[in-house]
Amino acid sequence: MLKKYRHYLVPTFFLLIIFALYNANLREVKGDDAIPARYVATSLVLDGDVFLNEFSFLHPPPRTRLPYYLYRSRGNILSTYPVATPLLASPVFYYFKNYFNWDLSFVSQKKCHFLLSLATKVSASLLTVFSVLFLYLALGKMGFTSTRYLTCSVYALCTSTWSISSQSLWQHTGVEFCLAGGIYFSLLSKERISMLAPTGFFLAAMTASRLLMVVFAAPMALTLIYHHRKSNLLKACLYIFPIPIIVAILLLNYNQHYFGTVLGGERYLELLHPLFHKVTGNWATPFLEGLYGIFLSPSRGLFLYSPILIFSFLMVLYCLRKNTIHPFLRFMALPFFIFVIIMCKYSVWWGGWSFGPRYFTDVQPLLALYFGQGATLIFCNLKTIALRVKIALGTMIFILAIYSFFIQTLGTFYYPCGWNNTPSDVDANHHRLWSWSDTQIGRCVKHPLQKPIFSVLF
């Protein structure tokens, strides 16, 4: 019996280990940006809407000015952030509602905050584990079967996928889930045209979670249409476009109706940057300064928090020169470079109060695929590489992976460590982003373990 199901048992056991590690800190690691998501998901399962009027503790009457993550419009309180991620998490909240018998009186009970935090953590970790599953399946479709456990481990535990996406309902949580799902079903759709329908859903949900991700969604959709242009163009369009069109109509109408702009609350948030982050505009960062910051800033640099991803970036460059790379990865190199350029110019490239390079969390599934391609080339395909070179490269990958894993444990078990706001607010004093004498990593290493608030369940 076990032999019959061995192909399912090993990946299932692997995913259970990942889920256990995501929840091993027994707490939710949240930021202010992620606060509204739990209440939107709760409102969806209690009231069937996205309004937050019933959560009076979020907006007490004497307070005339709402927190930046809330918006008052047409007599309702709304989340300034997109509601796509709470929608994706709502099945878990629905289970909690039924199991704990939630009703409208629940929001005024003392246990409300604890249970909502628990539901948030469970839903975030589940969505992230499913992104690992989609990545595992996508690696198999691309022919990287021999290195997919290594690649999935790097993606799940050596990047901000662990320290950010799995810890609370950030926008990044929904984006990673949808990007990984969209990649898998897009690969599957080349064999079965009907799989364009779920591909369209994931690409639409990804863009609804974060509008910037249209940089990846649009090229992926157009490429799939181009692939099916000779076999059945009309059928391909009828499969892939209906869901995105419906989502686009609903999203744009919702944004225009409640926020007065098709960009929705994100436009309102961008207008707040000069006030909260002390910048002069949304795209005011000099390109080279932004490039250095997103990769090598002592307290935000991607290569300091996940140096294992250096191999992924080398593979992106390799894709531009070699035709032996998987066609999907060659094609996605250009959208990825556009994303990097946007991040370099973005005024708040450091992501506010967060752990590490938060904005690059969105593209971790894609970076994982480039890592998988590189690992497969090094250890499986390139016969011309000498054994000692493979051993050297393998040792380097192992060391960088262990270091990256260690850094992510800091973000999971020790963050927040006080670096963002002491001795001064990093959003107001940007010079702290360049200080090597007082780094966020160094501060977290010295900080005591954060209290595991969910330990009362055991």
pLDDT score of 1:
54
Average pLDDT for 246-271: 95
pLDDT score of 458:
67
Nearest alpha carbon to residue 202 among 176, 170, 226, 179:
179
Task: For tokens 């369209």, name the residue.
Answer: 200
Average pLDDT for 58-67: 74
58 in Cβ contact with 85 (< 8 Å): no
Picking from 59-63, 149-153, 273-277, which range would have the lowest pLDDT averaged per residue? 59-63
Give residue-wise pLDDT tens across range 269-278: 999 999 999 9
The H-or-E segment that residue 73 falls in is strand 70-73
Task: For tokens 């999203």, name the residue.
Answer: 251
Give residue-wise pLDDT tens across range 1-19: 556 667 789 999 999 999 9
Q: If pLDDT is split at 50, 70 and 90, which confidence band does 64 have? A: low
Average pLDDT for 269-296: 93
pLDDT score of 348:
96
Q: If pLDDT is split at 50, 70 and 90, which confidence band does 383 have? A: low
pLDDT score of 415:
97
Give residue-wise pLDDT tens across range 335-369: 999 999 999 999 999 999 999 999 999 999 999 99
Residue 45 phi, psi (nearest 5): -85, -20
Give residue-wise pLDDT tens across range 443-455: 999 999 999 999 8
pTM value is 0.96
Pairwise CA distance, residues 139 & 135, whole Å: 6
Please give the single-letter amino acid code of residue 2. Answer: L
Per-domain residue ranges of the chain: 7-457
Q: C-alpha angle 309/314/317, rounded to 5°?
A: 135
Residues pairing with 78 in the sheet: 71
CB atoms within 10 A of CB 8: 9
Pairwise CA distance, residues 167 & 165, whole Å: 6
CA 39 to chain centroid, in Å, comes to 19
The alpha-carbon radius of gyration of the chain (Å, integer) is 22
Average pLDDT for 245-270: 95
Please provide the average confidence, as pLDDT, over all residues in the chain. Answer: 93
Would you say residue 108 has pLDDT above 90? no
pLDDT score of 105:
76
Average pLDDT for 196-203: 97
Tell which wins on pLDDT, 65 or 149. 149
Would you say residue 379 has pLDDT above 60? yes
